[in-house]
Amino acid sequence: MTPEERLAEMGLAVPEVAAPVAAYVPAVRTGAYVFTSGQLPMRSGELLAQGKVGGEVTAEEAYACAQQCALNAIAAVRAQIGELSKVKRVVKVVAFVASTPDFTGQPGVANGASELLGTVFGDAGVHARSAVGVPVLPLDAPVEVEILVEVED
């Protein structure tokens, strides 16, 4: 089963690549690796939520945002390599969570991205990860995710 077929089983699809919000590109390929820029939880040009996790945004909403960020990262990767079956390994995921000072559930929020990648890519989706709490993200997004993948030549 292809990654796209696994997404379809989940009722999801690879979205169009979101336009950058500043002077950068969504992803860069160098050799056997694709590095994505930080992806916001955009769907159809709109943020899924705004604000701080632990404040205006619940952990559950932030989990869904992290999942959307991962979908957007997958789209950026596919734009570089053509088809997702060329992904050999998701190497690293970095999740930034804009949260209130007392919120400590960043790893649970980041699971939205990690669990999606694991489902879509199977064993190749198992990765190293950082989940970092930050005071603010672009456009007041609650979550931003970047990924690094190894691809076939």
Give 85's DSSP letter. G
Average pLDDT over residues 96-123: 98
Domain map (residue ranges) of the chain: 3-12+27-151
* pLDDT value of residue 21: 84
* pLDDT value of residue 37: 97
Angle at 153 between CA 8 and CA 90, to 5 degrees: 50
Query: Domain spanning 3-12+27-151: which superfamily?
Result: RutC-like (3.30.1330.40)
Average pLDDT over residues 40-54: 96
pLDDT digits (tens, 9 = 90+) for 11-35: 999 999 988 889 999 999 999 999 9
Question: Distance between CA 132 and CA 142 in Å, rounded?
Answer: 12
pLDDT digits (tens, 9 = 90+) for 130-153: 999 999 999 999 999 999 999 997
